[in-house]
Chain A
């Protein structure tokens, strides 16, 4: 079974609107971390936001927020007030078993295209 699932291969969003990118995960660990990375067409991987499994509040970083629903094992990324520069691939990733090197498992990604 996939550990990280991103069910939306691609989506369009109108400039200045909000968009939600879905991410569900599967783990039996009690302590884990969830990450979102952005990969623009230039190819680099840019860290956006992190949520720890014990964090009670949803993480926020500027226009990015992470809607963490632990019981549903989901960690959706919300981008508010979309900008043309938000057009990119977005990857959800999970860190399990901190004692084993903080390794990340990535989802397949969601491509976002922001329309003017």
Chain B
């Protein structure tokens, strides 16, 4: 099992550009999550999903969108990138209690 995979690993965006961060899990987990981690800080929840077709906002959803058309995939869309979105983005999944994280995507918006 690959667990949780994320692509790309690193990306530089210009202000105003858009992109999609990909997240895939092969553990058949119902729950999936997107977090961001700013330098020197803990993780903050952006969006989450309790199953295919169901998504909901977390603590910091502004500027992002998600979809969950399959159990395996949970892409995060950034529209009109801003410097404040420079961060490391983590995707996670869980069956019950424990969340397992992907390796992260480092995003720089200039």
List residues of chain A with CB under 8 Å of any chain B CB. 4, 33, 35, 37, 43-47, 50, 52, 91, 93, 95, 101-109
Contact = CB atoms under 8 A, between A and B. Distances in A.
Contacts, number: 59
Interface string B90-110: 101010111111011010000
B42 A109 contact: yes
Contact of B98 (A47, A91, A101): A47
Contact of B104 (A35, A44, A105, A107): A44
Given A101-B31, A101-B50, A103-B58, A45 B101 contact: yes
B97 A43 contact: no
Given A43-B104, A44-B101, A47-B99, A101 B48 contact: yes
Contact of B96 (A45, A46, A102, A109): A102
Contact of A101 (B56, B100, B104): B56
Contact of A103 (B33, B88, B104): B33
Contacts of A46: 101
Contacts of B77: none
Given A43-B88, A101-B48, A91 B100 contact: no
